[in-house]
Structure 1
Protein backbone atom coordinates (compact mmCIF):
# COMPACT_ATOMS: atom_id res chain seq x y z
CA UNK A 1 0.00 0.00 0.00
CA UNK A 2 1.28 3.34 -0.87
CA UNK A 3 1.20 6.10 1.68
CA UNK A 4 0.92 9.84 1.18
CA UNK A 5 4.02 11.94 1.83
CA UNK A 6 3.84 15.67 2.30
CA UNK A 7 7.39 16.74 1.68
CA UNK A 8 8.53 20.34 1.34
CA UNK A 9 12.19 21.11 0.77
CA UNK A 10 13.28 24.52 2.04
CA UNK A 11 16.55 26.02 0.91
CA UNK A 12 17.67 28.03 3.94
CA UNK A 13 21.41 27.92 3.58
CA UNK A 14 22.44 31.51 4.30
CA UNK A 15 20.40 32.26 7.43
CA UNK A 16 20.89 30.49 10.75
CA UNK A 17 18.11 30.45 13.37
CA UNK A 18 18.71 29.80 17.03
CA UNK A 19 15.04 29.22 17.95
CA UNK A 20 13.14 26.11 16.94
CA UNK A 21 9.97 26.55 14.93
CA UNK A 22 6.84 25.31 16.67
CA UNK A 23 4.57 23.81 14.02
CA UNK A 24 1.54 24.62 16.19
CA UNK A 25 2.41 28.32 15.96
CA UNK A 26 2.00 28.05 12.19
CA UNK A 27 -1.58 26.93 12.60
CA UNK A 28 -0.88 23.52 11.06
CA UNK A 29 -3.29 20.91 12.37
CA UNK A 30 -2.75 17.15 11.97
CA UNK A 31 -4.99 15.52 9.40
CA UNK A 32 -6.01 11.98 8.68
CA UNK A 33 -4.66 10.03 5.71
CA UNK A 34 -7.01 7.48 4.15
CA UNK A 35 -6.43 4.88 1.47
CA UNK A 36 -9.15 2.60 0.13
CA UNK A 37 -9.30 0.66 -3.13
CA UNK A 38 -12.71 -0.76 -4.03
CA UNK A 39 -13.17 -3.68 -6.41
CA UNK A 40 -16.07 -6.05 -7.14
CA UNK A 41 -13.43 -8.78 -7.47
CA UNK A 42 -12.38 -8.54 -3.80
CA UNK A 43 -14.04 -10.49 -0.98
CA UNK A 44 -13.23 -7.71 1.48
CA UNK A 45 -13.01 -3.93 1.39
CA UNK A 46 -10.06 -2.64 3.44
CA UNK A 47 -9.45 0.92 4.62
CA UNK A 48 -6.05 2.13 5.81
CA UNK A 49 -6.06 5.17 8.11
CA UNK A 50 -3.10 7.07 9.56
CA UNK A 51 -2.03 10.58 10.51
CA UNK A 52 -0.35 13.08 8.22
CA UNK A 53 3.41 13.40 8.36
CA UNK A 54 4.64 16.57 10.11
CA UNK A 55 5.58 19.15 7.52
CA UNK A 56 9.16 19.53 8.76
CA UNK A 57 9.84 15.83 9.13
CA UNK A 58 10.61 13.01 6.74
CA UNK A 59 10.76 10.39 9.50
CA UNK A 60 8.38 7.48 8.92
CA UNK A 61 8.30 6.95 12.70
CA UNK A 62 6.14 10.07 12.93
CA UNK A 63 3.37 8.18 11.13
CA UNK A 64 0.98 5.96 13.06
CA UNK A 65 -2.03 3.83 12.24
CA UNK A 66 -5.23 5.29 13.71
CA UNK A 67 -6.98 2.45 15.53
CA UNK A 68 -9.81 4.28 17.31
CA UNK A 69 -11.58 5.93 14.38
CA UNK A 70 -15.11 5.54 13.11
CA UNK A 71 -14.94 4.59 9.44
CA UNK A 72 -18.14 4.22 7.43
CA UNK A 73 -19.08 3.37 3.85
CA UNK A 74 -22.28 4.09 1.95
CA UNK A 75 -23.76 3.26 -1.45
CA UNK A 76 -26.13 6.24 -1.49
CA UNK A 77 -24.62 8.91 0.79
CA UNK A 78 -27.49 8.50 3.27
CA UNK A 79 -27.31 5.03 4.83
CA UNK A 80 -23.93 4.21 6.35
CA UNK A 81 -22.30 0.94 7.40
CA UNK A 82 -19.52 0.96 9.98
CA UNK A 83 -16.26 -0.87 9.29
CA UNK A 84 -14.68 -3.15 11.88
CA UNK A 85 -11.04 -2.64 12.84
CA UNK A 86 -8.76 -5.65 12.31
CA UNK A 87 -5.80 -5.53 14.73
CA UNK A 88 -3.73 -8.03 12.77
CA UNK A 89 -4.14 -6.39 9.36
CA UNK A 90 -4.28 -2.86 10.85
CA UNK A 91 -7.15 -2.09 8.50
CA UNK A 92 -10.82 -1.21 8.80
CA UNK A 93 -12.74 -4.05 7.18
CA UNK A 94 -16.11 -4.72 5.51
CA UNK A 95 -16.86 -8.07 3.90
CA UNK A 96 -18.44 -8.49 0.51
CA UNK A 97 -21.51 -9.98 2.22
CA UNK A 98 -22.01 -6.90 4.40
CA UNK A 99 -21.15 -4.38 1.70
CA UNK A 100 -21.09 -5.60 -1.92
CA UNK A 101 -19.22 -3.55 -4.53
CA UNK A 102 -20.81 -3.30 -7.99
CA UNK A 103 -19.51 -2.02 -11.32
CA UNK A 104 -20.82 1.40 -12.33
CA UNK A 105 -22.01 2.32 -8.84
CA UNK A 106 -20.88 5.33 -6.78
CA UNK A 107 -19.71 4.79 -3.19
CA UNK A 108 -19.02 7.17 -0.33
CA UNK A 109 -16.65 7.02 2.61
CA UNK A 110 -16.17 9.08 5.77
CA UNK A 111 -14.01 8.82 8.88
CA UNK A 112 -13.62 10.64 12.18
CA UNK A 113 -11.27 10.07 15.09
CA UNK A 114 -10.39 11.59 18.49
CA UNK A 115 -7.72 14.28 18.17
CA UNK A 116 -8.79 15.35 14.69
CA UNK A 117 -11.14 18.30 14.34
CA UNK A 118 -12.69 17.42 10.99
CA UNK A 119 -14.46 14.43 9.49
CA UNK A 120 -12.79 13.37 6.26
CA UNK A 121 -14.81 12.13 3.30
CA UNK A 122 -14.72 11.18 -0.37
CA UNK A 123 -16.59 9.37 -3.12
CA UNK A 124 -15.73 7.34 -6.20
CA UNK A 125 -17.46 5.45 -8.98
CA UNK A 126 -16.45 1.88 -9.81
CA UNK A 127 -15.63 1.58 -13.52
CA UNK A 128 -17.20 -1.06 -15.73
CA UNK A 129 -14.86 -3.73 -17.00
CA UNK A 130 -14.68 -3.28 -20.76
CA UNK A 131 -13.66 -6.24 -22.88
CA UNK A 132 -10.71 -5.25 -25.02
CA UNK A 133 -8.90 -7.21 -27.69
CA UNK A 134 -5.44 -7.76 -26.26
CA UNK A 135 -2.47 -8.61 -28.48
CA UNK A 136 1.09 -9.44 -27.44
CA UNK A 137 3.94 -9.48 -29.93
CA UNK A 138 7.35 -10.65 -28.77
CA UNK A 139 10.24 -8.69 -30.28
CA UNK A 140 13.40 -10.09 -28.70
CA UNK A 141 14.25 -12.37 -25.82
CA UNK A 142 17.24 -13.56 -23.87
CA UNK A 143 17.59 -15.76 -20.81
CA UNK A 144 16.01 -13.28 -18.39
CA UNK A 145 14.02 -10.69 -20.36
CA UNK A 146 11.42 -10.85 -23.12
CA UNK A 147 11.03 -7.62 -25.10
CA UNK A 148 7.44 -7.27 -26.22
CA UNK A 149 4.73 -4.97 -27.51
CA UNK A 150 1.26 -5.02 -25.91
CA UNK A 151 -1.59 -3.49 -27.88
CA UNK A 152 -5.34 -3.20 -27.35
CA UNK A 153 -8.31 -1.33 -28.79
CA UNK A 154 -9.73 1.30 -26.46
CA UNK A 155 -13.40 1.13 -25.54
CA UNK A 156 -14.93 4.18 -27.26
CA UNK A 157 -17.27 6.79 -25.85
CA UNK A 158 -15.85 7.14 -22.33
CA UNK A 159 -12.65 7.96 -20.49
CA UNK A 160 -10.62 4.85 -19.71
CA UNK A 161 -7.51 4.27 -17.61
CA UNK A 162 -5.46 1.09 -17.80
CA UNK A 163 -2.58 -0.63 -16.08
CA UNK A 164 -1.11 -4.12 -16.38
CA UNK A 165 0.19 -6.40 -13.62
CA UNK A 166 2.30 -9.50 -14.13
CA UNK A 167 2.27 -12.47 -11.75
CA UNK A 168 4.92 -15.16 -11.88
CA UNK A 169 5.19 -18.12 -9.51
CA UNK A 170 8.70 -19.37 -8.79
CA UNK A 171 9.64 -22.52 -6.90
CA UNK A 172 12.49 -21.98 -4.48
CA UNK A 173 14.39 -24.48 -2.38
CA UNK A 174 14.88 -23.61 1.30
CA UNK A 175 18.09 -25.23 2.50
CA UNK A 176 17.26 -24.56 6.15
CA UNK A 177 14.00 -26.53 6.07
CA UNK A 178 15.02 -28.80 3.18
CA UNK A 179 11.74 -27.99 1.42
CA UNK A 180 10.49 -26.46 -1.79
CA UNK A 181 8.14 -23.50 -1.56
CA UNK A 182 6.51 -21.14 -4.04
CA UNK A 183 7.15 -17.40 -4.36
CA UNK A 184 4.72 -15.05 -6.08
CA UNK A 185 6.56 -12.34 -7.99
CA UNK A 186 4.43 -9.33 -8.98
CA UNK A 187 5.24 -6.17 -10.90
CA UNK A 188 3.58 -3.50 -13.03
CA UNK A 189 4.31 -3.24 -16.72
CA UNK A 190 5.72 0.13 -17.74
CA UNK A 191 6.32 1.71 -21.12
CA UNK A 192 10.05 1.49 -21.89
CA UNK A 193 9.88 4.73 -23.90
CA UNK A 194 7.91 6.97 -21.51
CA UNK A 195 8.35 5.25 -18.14
CA UNK A 196 4.57 5.35 -17.59
CA UNK A 197 2.82 2.40 -15.93
CA UNK A 198 -0.75 3.71 -16.08
CA UNK A 199 -2.28 4.67 -19.40
CA UNK A 200 -5.10 6.96 -20.52
CA UNK A 201 -7.13 7.13 -23.72
CA UNK A 202 -7.11 10.94 -23.57
CA UNK A 203 -7.21 12.25 -27.16
CA UNK A 204 -7.19 8.59 -28.30
CA UNK A 205 -10.77 7.56 -27.55
CA UNK A 206 -11.62 4.39 -29.45
CA UNK A 207 -8.15 4.11 -30.99
CA UNK A 208 -5.59 1.32 -30.79
CA UNK A 209 -3.26 1.80 -27.81
CA UNK A 210 0.09 0.13 -27.30
CA UNK A 211 2.95 -0.23 -24.83
CA UNK A 212 6.53 -1.21 -25.58
CA UNK A 213 7.69 -3.13 -22.56
CA UNK A 214 9.39 -6.30 -21.32
CA UNK A 215 8.63 -9.34 -19.17
CA UNK A 216 11.07 -10.56 -16.56
CA UNK A 217 11.64 -14.27 -17.08
CA UNK A 218 14.53 -15.26 -14.86
CA UNK A 219 13.18 -18.79 -14.37
CA UNK A 220 12.45 -19.30 -18.09
CA UNK A 221 8.75 -19.87 -17.43
CA UNK A 222 6.53 -21.11 -20.23
CA UNK A 223 3.58 -18.99 -19.11
CA UNK A 224 2.96 -15.63 -17.48
CA UNK A 225 -0.17 -14.41 -15.70
CA UNK A 226 -1.18 -10.94 -16.84
CA UNK A 227 -3.97 -8.82 -15.32
CA UNK A 228 -5.63 -5.96 -17.18
CA UNK A 229 -6.66 -3.34 -14.62
CA UNK A 230 -9.22 -0.69 -15.52
CA UNK A 231 -9.35 2.10 -12.98
CA UNK A 232 -10.46 5.69 -12.29
CA UNK A 233 -9.14 9.10 -13.27
CA UNK A 234 -8.37 9.76 -9.58
CA UNK A 235 -6.02 6.79 -9.50
CA UNK A 236 -4.42 7.89 -12.78
CA UNK A 237 -3.76 11.40 -11.44
CA UNK A 238 -2.50 10.07 -8.10
CA UNK A 239 -0.02 7.63 -9.66
CA UNK A 240 1.32 10.30 -12.02
CA UNK A 241 1.81 12.74 -9.14
CA UNK A 242 3.53 10.02 -7.10
CA UNK A 243 5.88 9.33 -9.98
CA UNK A 244 6.65 13.06 -10.24
CA UNK A 245 7.38 13.13 -6.50
CA UNK A 246 9.95 10.35 -6.79
CA UNK A 247 11.55 12.12 -9.74
CA UNK A 248 11.75 15.48 -7.94
CA UNK A 249 13.08 13.86 -4.77
CA UNK A 250 16.18 12.81 -6.69
CA UNK A 251 17.08 16.44 -7.43
CA UNK A 252 18.98 18.02 -4.52
CA UNK A 253 18.21 21.60 -3.58
CA UNK A 254 14.69 21.95 -4.94
CA UNK A 255 12.74 24.82 -3.41
CA UNK A 256 9.29 24.24 -4.89
CA UNK A 257 7.00 21.87 -2.94
CA UNK A 258 5.99 18.60 -4.54
CA UNK A 259 2.33 17.77 -3.95
CA UNK A 260 0.58 14.46 -4.35
CA UNK A 261 -2.85 14.28 -5.91
CA UNK A 262 -5.51 13.92 -3.22
CA UNK A 263 -9.27 13.32 -3.36
CA UNK A 264 -9.98 13.21 0.39
CA UNK A 265 -11.94 16.20 1.70
CA UNK A 266 -10.42 17.65 4.93
CA UNK A 267 -7.62 15.08 4.76
CA UNK A 268 -5.15 13.33 2.50
CA UNK A 269 -5.02 10.11 0.54
CA UNK A 270 -6.99 8.31 -2.12
CA UNK A 271 -10.41 6.69 -2.40
CA UNK A 272 -10.62 4.88 -5.72
CA UNK A 273 -11.83 1.74 -7.46
CA UNK A 274 -10.77 -0.67 -10.17
CA UNK A 275 -11.82 -3.81 -11.98
CA UNK A 276 -9.56 -6.39 -13.56
CA UNK A 277 -9.39 -9.59 -15.54
CA UNK A 278 -6.50 -12.06 -15.49
CA UNK A 279 -5.11 -13.85 -18.54
CA UNK A 280 -2.57 -16.60 -19.01
CA UNK A 281 0.00 -15.89 -21.69
CA UNK A 282 1.71 -18.85 -23.36
CA UNK A 283 5.12 -17.43 -24.26
CA UNK A 284 6.26 -20.15 -26.65
CA UNK A 285 3.03 -20.33 -28.63
CA UNK A 286 2.12 -16.64 -28.22
CA UNK A 287 -1.40 -17.48 -27.05
CA UNK A 288 -3.61 -15.59 -24.57
CA UNK A 289 -6.55 -17.09 -22.72
CA UNK A 290 -8.65 -16.13 -19.72
CA UNK A 291 -7.32 -17.41 -16.39
CA UNK A 292 -9.44 -18.26 -13.37
CA UNK A 293 -7.56 -17.58 -10.14
CA UNK A 294 -7.96 -20.66 -7.89
Structure 2
Protein backbone atom coordinates (compact mmCIF):
# COMPACT_ATOMS: atom_id res chain seq x y z
CA UNK A 1 0.00 0.00 0.00
CA UNK A 2 2.90 2.32 0.84
CA UNK A 3 4.46 1.76 -2.61
CA UNK A 4 1.11 2.43 -4.28
CA UNK A 5 0.73 5.74 -2.42
CA UNK A 6 4.25 6.75 -3.38
CA UNK A 7 3.43 6.17 -7.07
CA UNK A 8 0.32 8.36 -6.81
CA UNK A 9 2.32 11.14 -5.16
CA UNK A 10 5.05 10.97 -7.81
CA UNK A 11 2.49 11.16 -10.64
CA UNK A 12 0.78 14.11 -8.97
CA UNK A 13 4.07 15.98 -8.61
CA UNK A 14 4.98 15.32 -12.26
CA UNK A 15 1.59 16.62 -13.36
CA UNK A 16 2.15 19.85 -11.41
CA UNK A 17 5.69 20.13 -12.81
CA UNK A 18 4.62 19.82 -16.45
CA UNK A 19 1.67 22.15 -15.92
CA UNK A 20 3.95 24.84 -14.53
CA UNK A 21 6.38 24.42 -17.42
CA UNK A 22 3.99 26.02 -19.90
CA UNK A 23 5.41 29.18 -21.41
CA UNK A 24 3.80 31.64 -23.75
CA UNK A 25 5.87 32.26 -26.87
CA UNK A 26 5.21 35.28 -29.02
CA UNK A 27 5.82 34.71 -32.73
CA UNK A 28 6.73 37.77 -34.72
CA UNK A 29 4.87 37.11 -37.98
CA UNK A 30 5.81 39.18 -41.01
CA UNK A 31 3.31 41.85 -42.01
CA UNK A 32 0.85 40.47 -44.54
CA UNK A 33 1.21 42.04 -47.99
CA UNK A 34 -1.77 41.46 -50.33
CA UNK A 35 -1.26 40.78 -54.04
CA UNK A 36 -3.53 41.44 -57.02
CA UNK A 37 -5.30 38.41 -58.58
CA UNK A 38 -6.81 38.39 -62.09
CA UNK A 39 -8.90 35.49 -63.41
CA UNK A 40 -10.28 35.32 -66.94
CA UNK A 41 -10.86 32.31 -69.20
CA UNK A 42 -12.16 33.49 -72.57
CA UNK A 43 -13.53 32.06 -75.82
CA UNK A 44 -15.23 33.27 -79.01
CA UNK A 45 -18.68 32.48 -77.57
CA UNK A 46 -18.79 35.15 -74.85
CA UNK A 47 -17.44 38.59 -73.98
CA UNK A 48 -14.39 38.96 -71.74
CA UNK A 49 -15.30 38.64 -68.05
CA UNK A 50 -12.48 39.56 -65.69
CA UNK A 51 -12.66 38.82 -61.97
CA UNK A 52 -10.25 41.07 -60.09
CA UNK A 53 -9.49 40.46 -56.41
CA UNK A 54 -6.64 40.56 -53.94
CA UNK A 55 -5.08 37.81 -51.88
CA UNK A 56 -6.26 37.55 -48.28
CA UNK A 57 -4.80 36.12 -45.05
CA UNK A 58 -5.09 32.36 -44.61
CA UNK A 59 -8.03 32.63 -42.16
CA UNK A 60 -10.08 34.71 -44.60
CA UNK A 61 -12.21 32.37 -46.74
CA UNK A 62 -13.64 34.99 -49.09
CA UNK A 63 -11.84 36.84 -51.88
CA UNK A 64 -11.78 40.63 -51.64
CA UNK A 65 -13.06 42.17 -54.87
CA UNK A 66 -11.03 45.06 -56.27
CA UNK A 67 -13.51 47.71 -57.37
CA UNK A 68 -11.38 50.70 -58.31
CA UNK A 69 -9.34 49.55 -61.29
CA UNK A 70 -8.75 50.55 -64.88
CA UNK A 71 -8.84 47.38 -67.02
CA UNK A 72 -7.69 47.86 -70.61
CA UNK A 73 -7.94 45.29 -73.41
CA UNK A 74 -5.69 45.07 -76.48
CA UNK A 75 -6.04 42.93 -79.61
CA UNK A 76 -2.81 42.25 -81.51
CA UNK A 77 -1.31 45.14 -79.45
CA UNK A 78 -4.01 47.60 -80.58
CA UNK A 79 -6.16 49.15 -77.85
CA UNK A 80 -9.76 47.90 -78.08
CA UNK A 81 -11.63 49.15 -75.03
CA UNK A 82 -11.71 49.75 -71.30
CA UNK A 83 -13.78 47.13 -69.49
CA UNK A 84 -16.75 48.23 -67.36
CA UNK A 85 -17.36 47.15 -63.75
CA UNK A 86 -20.82 45.87 -62.75
CA UNK A 87 -20.19 45.50 -59.02
CA UNK A 88 -18.66 42.04 -59.31
CA UNK A 89 -16.69 41.61 -62.55
CA UNK A 90 -15.17 43.70 -65.33
CA UNK A 91 -16.81 43.05 -68.72
CA UNK A 92 -16.01 43.88 -72.34
CA UNK A 93 -18.47 44.60 -75.14
CA UNK A 94 -16.53 42.68 -77.80
CA UNK A 95 -16.18 38.94 -78.39
CA UNK A 96 -12.71 37.38 -78.73
CA UNK A 97 -11.74 36.41 -82.27
CA UNK A 98 -10.11 33.17 -83.41
CA UNK A 99 -6.29 33.18 -83.54
CA UNK A 100 -6.07 36.74 -82.24
CA UNK A 101 -3.59 37.69 -79.51
CA UNK A 102 -4.99 39.51 -76.49
CA UNK A 103 -3.23 41.64 -73.92
CA UNK A 104 -4.82 42.90 -70.72
CA UNK A 105 -3.51 45.71 -68.51
CA UNK A 106 -4.77 46.58 -65.03
CA UNK A 107 -4.02 49.78 -63.14
CA UNK A 108 -5.10 50.27 -59.51
CA UNK A 109 -4.25 52.88 -56.85
CA UNK A 110 -3.20 50.21 -54.34
CA UNK A 111 -1.09 47.81 -56.40
CA UNK A 112 1.64 47.70 -59.00
CA UNK A 113 0.25 47.46 -62.53
CA UNK A 114 -0.35 43.89 -63.76
CA UNK A 115 -0.49 42.55 -67.29
CA UNK A 116 -1.03 39.26 -69.13
CA UNK A 117 -1.05 37.82 -72.67
CA UNK A 118 -2.80 34.95 -74.42
CA UNK A 119 -4.77 34.13 -77.56
CA UNK A 120 -7.97 32.43 -78.75
CA UNK A 121 -7.24 29.08 -80.43
CA UNK A 122 -9.29 27.73 -83.34
CA UNK A 123 -12.12 25.26 -82.84
CA UNK A 124 -10.97 21.65 -82.39
CA UNK A 125 -11.34 19.37 -85.41
CA UNK A 126 -13.80 16.83 -84.01
CA UNK A 127 -14.62 13.91 -86.31
CA UNK A 128 -16.97 11.85 -84.14
CA UNK A 129 -17.98 11.10 -80.57
CA UNK A 130 -19.92 8.11 -79.20
CA UNK A 131 -20.69 6.47 -75.87
CA UNK A 132 -20.90 2.69 -75.37
CA UNK A 133 -22.99 1.97 -72.28
CA UNK A 134 -21.66 -1.59 -71.87
CA UNK A 135 -18.10 -1.46 -73.13
CA UNK A 136 -16.62 -3.90 -70.59
CA UNK A 137 -17.06 -5.44 -67.15
CA UNK A 138 -14.79 -4.42 -64.29
CA UNK A 139 -13.19 -6.72 -61.70
CA UNK A 140 -16.24 -6.54 -59.44
CA UNK A 141 -18.64 -7.50 -62.21
CA UNK A 142 -20.07 -4.03 -62.92
CA UNK A 143 -20.74 -2.98 -66.50
CA UNK A 144 -18.61 0.01 -67.46
CA UNK A 145 -19.09 2.61 -70.16
CA UNK A 146 -16.62 4.03 -72.66
CA UNK A 147 -16.58 7.39 -74.44
CA UNK A 148 -14.83 7.31 -77.84
CA UNK A 149 -13.67 10.57 -79.42
CA UNK A 150 -12.04 10.80 -82.85
CA UNK A 151 -10.39 14.07 -83.87
CA UNK A 152 -7.67 15.50 -86.11
CA UNK A 153 -4.68 17.34 -84.68
CA UNK A 154 -3.05 20.35 -86.35
CA UNK A 155 0.58 19.39 -87.24
CA UNK A 156 1.88 22.96 -87.39
CA UNK A 157 1.94 23.69 -83.67
CA UNK A 158 1.87 22.22 -80.19
CA UNK A 159 -1.76 21.65 -79.22
CA UNK A 160 -3.61 21.13 -75.95
CA UNK A 161 -7.12 19.82 -75.33
CA UNK A 162 -9.72 19.51 -72.59
CA UNK A 163 -12.72 17.17 -72.40
CA UNK A 164 -15.70 17.76 -70.15
CA UNK A 165 -18.78 15.55 -70.06
CA UNK A 166 -21.71 15.26 -67.70
CA UNK A 167 -25.15 13.70 -67.63
CA UNK A 168 -28.42 15.58 -67.44
CA UNK A 169 -31.07 13.37 -65.88
CA UNK A 170 -34.49 14.48 -64.58
CA UNK A 171 -33.32 18.11 -64.49
CA UNK A 172 -30.25 17.23 -62.42
CA UNK A 173 -26.61 17.12 -63.45
CA UNK A 174 -23.79 14.83 -62.40
CA UNK A 175 -20.26 14.29 -63.65
CA UNK A 176 -18.79 10.83 -64.23
CA UNK A 177 -16.02 9.16 -62.35
CA UNK A 178 -13.09 8.03 -64.44
CA UNK A 179 -11.74 4.50 -64.25
CA UNK A 180 -8.17 4.81 -62.91
CA UNK A 181 -7.26 1.68 -64.90
CA UNK A 182 -8.01 3.54 -68.11
CA UNK A 183 -5.53 2.16 -70.60
CA UNK A 184 -5.53 4.98 -73.17
CA UNK A 185 -1.83 5.97 -73.47
CA UNK A 186 -2.61 9.67 -73.92
CA UNK A 187 -4.51 9.89 -70.62
CA UNK A 188 -1.97 7.73 -68.79
CA UNK A 189 0.74 10.09 -70.02
CA UNK A 190 -0.94 13.02 -68.24
CA UNK A 191 -0.99 11.23 -64.84
CA UNK A 192 -4.11 12.97 -63.49
CA UNK A 193 -6.77 10.22 -63.36
CA UNK A 194 -5.89 9.34 -59.75
CA UNK A 195 -6.63 12.92 -58.63
CA UNK A 196 -10.38 12.80 -59.36
CA UNK A 197 -10.37 15.47 -62.08
CA UNK A 198 -13.59 17.21 -63.09
CA UNK A 199 -12.27 17.39 -66.65
CA UNK A 200 -9.50 15.71 -68.64
CA UNK A 201 -6.63 17.63 -70.22
CA UNK A 202 -3.95 16.34 -72.56
CA UNK A 203 -1.40 17.48 -75.13
CA UNK A 204 -0.70 16.15 -78.63
CA UNK A 205 2.69 14.82 -77.51
CA UNK A 206 1.84 11.22 -78.53
CA UNK A 207 -0.16 11.92 -81.73
CA UNK A 208 1.11 15.22 -83.15
CA UNK A 209 -0.37 16.01 -86.56
CA UNK A 210 -2.45 12.86 -86.89
CA UNK A 211 -6.03 11.70 -86.44
CA UNK A 212 -6.45 10.10 -83.04
CA UNK A 213 -9.18 8.08 -81.35
CA UNK A 214 -9.26 8.69 -77.59
CA UNK A 215 -11.05 6.19 -75.35
CA UNK A 216 -12.22 7.22 -71.88
CA UNK A 217 -13.41 4.49 -69.52
CA UNK A 218 -15.97 5.56 -66.93
CA UNK A 219 -18.92 4.28 -64.99
CA UNK A 220 -22.10 3.54 -66.93
CA UNK A 221 -23.57 7.02 -67.23
CA UNK A 222 -27.07 5.91 -68.19
CA UNK A 223 -29.33 4.13 -65.73
CA UNK A 224 -31.89 1.99 -67.58
CA UNK A 225 -34.32 2.28 -64.64
CA UNK A 226 -34.65 6.03 -65.00
CA UNK A 227 -36.18 8.22 -67.65
CA UNK A 228 -34.08 8.83 -70.79
CA UNK A 229 -30.86 10.70 -70.02
CA UNK A 230 -28.53 12.73 -72.16
CA UNK A 231 -24.78 13.08 -72.05
CA UNK A 232 -23.44 16.58 -72.63
CA UNK A 233 -20.00 16.44 -74.24
CA UNK A 234 -17.67 19.45 -74.50
CA UNK A 235 -14.42 19.26 -76.48
CA UNK A 236 -12.04 22.21 -76.06
CA UNK A 237 -8.94 23.38 -77.87
CA UNK A 238 -7.01 25.21 -75.14
CA UNK A 239 -3.84 27.27 -74.91
CA UNK A 240 -0.69 26.20 -73.07
CA UNK A 241 -1.43 28.70 -70.28
CA UNK A 242 -4.91 27.22 -69.80
CA UNK A 243 -3.51 23.67 -69.79
CA UNK A 244 -0.81 24.39 -67.19
CA UNK A 245 -3.17 26.31 -64.92
CA UNK A 246 -5.97 23.72 -64.92
CA UNK A 247 -3.60 20.78 -64.32
CA UNK A 248 -2.16 22.49 -61.25
CA UNK A 249 -5.69 23.34 -60.12
CA UNK A 250 -6.65 19.65 -60.20
CA UNK A 251 -3.77 18.78 -57.85
CA UNK A 252 -4.55 21.75 -55.61
CA UNK A 253 -8.22 20.78 -55.20
CA UNK A 254 -7.35 17.14 -54.55
CA UNK A 255 -4.92 18.07 -51.77
CA UNK A 256 -7.44 20.39 -50.13
CA UNK A 257 -10.20 17.77 -50.12
CA UNK A 258 -8.09 14.86 -48.88
CA UNK A 259 -5.76 16.29 -46.25
CA UNK A 260 -8.29 15.75 -43.40
CA UNK A 261 -7.99 11.95 -43.53
CA UNK A 262 -4.70 11.47 -45.34
CA UNK A 263 -2.68 14.08 -43.47
CA UNK A 264 -1.60 17.47 -44.73
CA UNK A 265 -0.91 17.29 -48.47
CA UNK A 266 2.12 18.72 -50.18
CA UNK A 267 1.68 22.44 -50.97
CA UNK A 268 0.81 23.03 -54.61
CA UNK A 269 2.12 26.21 -56.20
CA UNK A 270 -0.48 27.44 -58.68
CA UNK A 271 0.56 28.28 -62.22
CA UNK A 272 0.07 31.89 -63.27
CA UNK A 273 0.80 33.96 -66.37
CA UNK A 274 -0.02 37.28 -64.67
CA UNK A 275 2.99 39.61 -64.49
CA UNK A 276 3.29 41.26 -61.03
CA UNK A 277 0.28 39.31 -59.75
CA UNK A 278 -1.50 35.98 -59.59
CA UNK A 279 -4.30 34.20 -61.46
CA UNK A 280 -4.83 33.27 -65.09
CA UNK A 281 -5.65 34.94 -68.40
CA UNK A 282 -6.13 32.20 -70.99
CA UNK A 283 -8.13 31.38 -74.11
CA UNK A 284 -9.98 28.36 -75.41
CA UNK A 285 -12.54 27.32 -78.01
CA UNK A 286 -15.07 24.52 -77.79
CA UNK A 287 -17.50 22.23 -79.57
CA UNK A 288 -20.48 20.70 -77.79
CA UNK A 289 -22.45 17.55 -78.58
CA UNK A 290 -25.39 15.81 -76.90
CA UNK A 291 -25.62 12.01 -76.79
CA UNK A 292 -28.95 10.50 -75.77
CA UNK A 293 -29.36 7.17 -74.00
CA UNK A 294 -30.74 4.23 -75.97
Q: Distance in 2 between matches of 1:184 and 1:203?
A: 36
1:161 touches 1:199 (CA, 8 Å); kept in 2? yes
What SS does structure 2 have at the residue aligned with 1:245?
A: helix
Query: Alignment partner for residue 185 of structure 1, among 162, 168, 173?
Result: 173
The answer to whether the 8 Å contact 2:41/2:284 transfers is: yes
Instruction: Report the CA distance shift for 1:226/1:253 in structure 2 as closer, same or farther (over 3 A).
Output: closer
Which of 107, 111, 127 in structure 2 is aligned with 1:112?
Answer: 107
Is 1:252 matched up with 2:263? yes
* 2-structure distance, mates of 1:236, 1:82: 27
Contact 1:167 1:184 in 2 (8 A): no
Checking the alignment, whether the CA contact within 8 Å between 1:49 and 1:65 is kept in structure 2 is yes
SS at match of 1:124: strand
**1:134-171 deviations in Å (ceiling 9; x for gaps):** 232415289x9961132323413132222223354444
| Equivalent in the alignment of 1:216 | 221
Secondary structure of the corresponding residue to residue 106 of structure 2: strand
1:14-25 equivalences in 2 (<5 Å): 18-24=25-31
Structure 1 contact 32–267 (Cα < 8 Å) conserved: yes
What is the SS of the residue equivalent to 1:133? strand
The answer for the alignment partner of 2:65 in structure 1 is 65
Evaluate the alpha carbon distance shift between residue 191 and residue 131 of structure 1 in structure 2; reply closer, same or farther with a 3 A threshold. Answer: farther
Distance 2:244 2:30 in 1: 30
The residue aligned with 1:156 is 154
Q: Which is greater in Rg?
A: 2
Specify whether residues 145 and 72 from structure 1 end up closer, same or farther in structure 2 by C-alpha distance, changes over 3 A only: farther
Give 2:115's aligned residue. Answer: 121
The equivalent residue for 2:14 is none
Alpha-carbon distance in 2 for matches of 1:202, 1:124: 21
**1:130–1:139 Cα change, 3 Å:** same
2: CA distance, partners of 1:104 / 1:189: 33
Q: 2 CA distance for matches of 1:188 and 1:161?
A: 22
SS in 1 for 2:122: coil
Change (3 A) 1:30 1:215: farther
Whole-angstrom CA distance in 1 between matches of 2:176 and 2:241: 18
Query: Does 2:281 match 1:277?
Result: no
8 Å contact from structure 2 (residues 146, 215) kept in 1: no
2:130 matches 1:133 = no
Q: Which residue is 1:225 aligned to?
A: 232
Q: Distance in 1 between matches of 2:143 and 2:282?
A: 33
Give the distance between the partners of 1:211 and 1:168, measured in 2 at CA: 15
**Contact 2:71–2:106 (Cα < 8 Å) also in 1:** yes
Superposition deviation, residue 20 in structure 1: 3.5
Checking the alignment, whether the CA contact within 8 Å between 2:133 and 2:220 is kept in structure 1 is no
Aligned-pair CA distance for 1:68: 1.3
Q: How many pairs align?
A: 243
Instruction: Structure 1 unaligned segments of length 5 or more: list them.
Output: 1-15, 172-182, 285-294
Greater share of helix residues, 1 or 2?
2
How far the C-alpha of 1:129 sits from its partner, in A, is 0.8
Structure 1 Cα separation of the partners of residues 279 and 24 of structure 2: 33
